[in-house]
Amino acid sequence: MTGQITLRDLAAIDVKVLKGVGDKRKAALAEYGIENVLELLMNYPRRWVDRTNEARVSDLVAGQEALVLVEVRKVSRFTTKTRKTIVKVQVGDESGRFSAAFFNQPWRERQLKVGLQVAMFGKVDEFRGALQMNNPLVDLIGDRTGRIVPIYPQSERTQVSTWELASWVENALERCRERGIADPLPESLLNEYDLMARGPALWSIHFPDSMTAKQNARRRLAFDELLRVQLVLVGRKRSFELDNTGIRHVVGGRLQQRFIDALPFSITGAQRRVIDEIDRDLAGPHPMHRLLQGDVGSGKTVVAVAAMLAAVQGRHQGALMAPTEVLAEQHFAGVKELLHGLLVPDGGNLFGDRQLRVELLTSRVTSERRRELLHDLADSSIDILIGTHALIEDAVEFGSLGVVVIDEQHRFGVEQRAALRNKGSQFGKPNSTSPDVLVMTATPIPRTAAMTVYGDLDVSVLDEMPPGRTPIKTYAVAGKDATSKMWSEVRAAIAQGQQAFVVCPLIDESEKLEVASAEKTFATLGKAELKGLRLGLLHGRMSSSEKDATMSRFRDRKLDVLVATTVIEVGVDVPNATCMVVLDADRFGIAQLHQLRGRVGRGAIASRCWLVTETSDIESPRIEALCASTDGFYLAEVDLELRGEGTIMNTAQKGRSDLKLASLRRDRDLIESARAAASRIIDADPSLTNQTQLRDEIDLLLTRDEEEFLSKN
Is residue 235 over pLDDT 60?
yes
Q: Which of 691, 663, 698 is nearest to 189 (CA)?
A: 691
Assign residue 419 a region: left if phi > 0, alpha if psi is -120 to 50, beta otherwise?
A: alpha
For 9, 19, 490, 672, the CA distances from 26, given in Å and listed in that order, are 19, 11, 64, 40
CA dihedral sign, ordered 404, 410, 412, 416: positive
State the Cα–Cα distance between residues 431 and 299, nearest whole angstrom.
35
In this structure, the dihedral spanned by the alpha carbons of residues 277, 282, 288 and 290, taken in order and rounded to 10 degrees, is: 30
Question: Which ranges in the chain are annotated with CATH 2.40.50.140?
Answer: 52-145
The mean pLDDT value for 395-413 works out to: 79
Provide CATH code, domain 472-629: 3.40.50.300
Is residue 142 over pLDDT 70?
no
pTM above 0.75, yes or no: no
**Where is mean pLDDT largest: 322-331, 489-498, 580-589?**
489-498
Distance of CA 380 to the CA centre of its chain: 38
Least confident segment among 243-247, 474-478, 529-533: 243-247
Q: Which of 373, 413, 366 is nearest to 395 (CA)?
A: 373
Is the separation of the CB atoms in 292 and 274 below 8 Å?
A: yes
The count of residues in the chain is 713
**pLDDT, averaged across the chain:** 84
At residue 447, the pLDDT reads: 64
State the Cα–Cα distance between residues 712 and 489, nearest whole angstrom.
47
The mean pLDDT value for 383-402 works out to: 88
State the Cα–Cα distance between residues 332 and 386, nearest whole angstrom.
6
State the Cα–Cα distance between residues 287 and 607, nearest whole angstrom.
41
At residue 65, the pLDDT reads: 83
Task: Grade residue 655 by pLDDT with cuts at 50, 70 and 90.
Answer: very low
At residue 599, the pLDDT reads: 82
The predicted-structure confidence for 512-563, as pLDDT tens digits, reads as follows 454 567 888 899 999 999 999 999 998 877 877 788 788 889 989 999 999 9
Q: Which of 165, 166, 133, 123 is nearest to 148 (CA)?
A: 166
State the Cα–Cα distance between residues 71 and 92, nearest whole angstrom.
6
Q: Which of 8, 2, 3, 1 is nearest to 692 (CA)?
A: 8
CA dihedral sign, ordered 711, 590, 153, 105: negative
The alpha-helical segments, DSSP class H, found in 644-684 are 668-684
Is residue 418 over pLDDT 80?
no
State the Cα–Cα distance between residues 309 and 384, nearest whole angstrom.
8
Please calculate the CA angle 385-391-394 and round it to the nearest 5 degrees.
135
Task: Grade residue 427 by pLDDT with cuts at 50, 70 and 90.
Answer: very low
Is residue 645 over pLDDT 60?
no
The mean pLDDT value for 446-469 works out to: 72
- The fold of 254-283+298-441 is Rossmann fold (3.40.50)
Is residue 110 over pLDDT 50?
yes
At residue 511, the pLDDT reads: 45
Share of the chain above pLDDT 70, in %: 85
At residue 592, the pLDDT reads: 82
At residue 653, the pLDDT reads: 38
Q: What CATH class does 52-145 carry? A: mainly beta
The predicted-structure confidence for 672-681, as pLDDT tens digits, reads as follows 899 999 999 9
The mean pLDDT value for 275-282 works out to: 94
Task: Using CB atoms within 10 Å of the CB of residue 627, give its burial: 0 to 12 exposed, 13 to 18 middle, 19+ buried.
Answer: middle
State the Cα–Cα distance between residues 402 and 249, nearest whole angstrom.
8
Please calculate the CA angle 553-554-558 and round it to the nearest 5 degrees.
60
Share of the chain above pLDDT 90, in %: 43
Question: Which ranges in the chain are annotated with CATH 3.40.50.300?
Answer: 254-283+298-441, 472-629
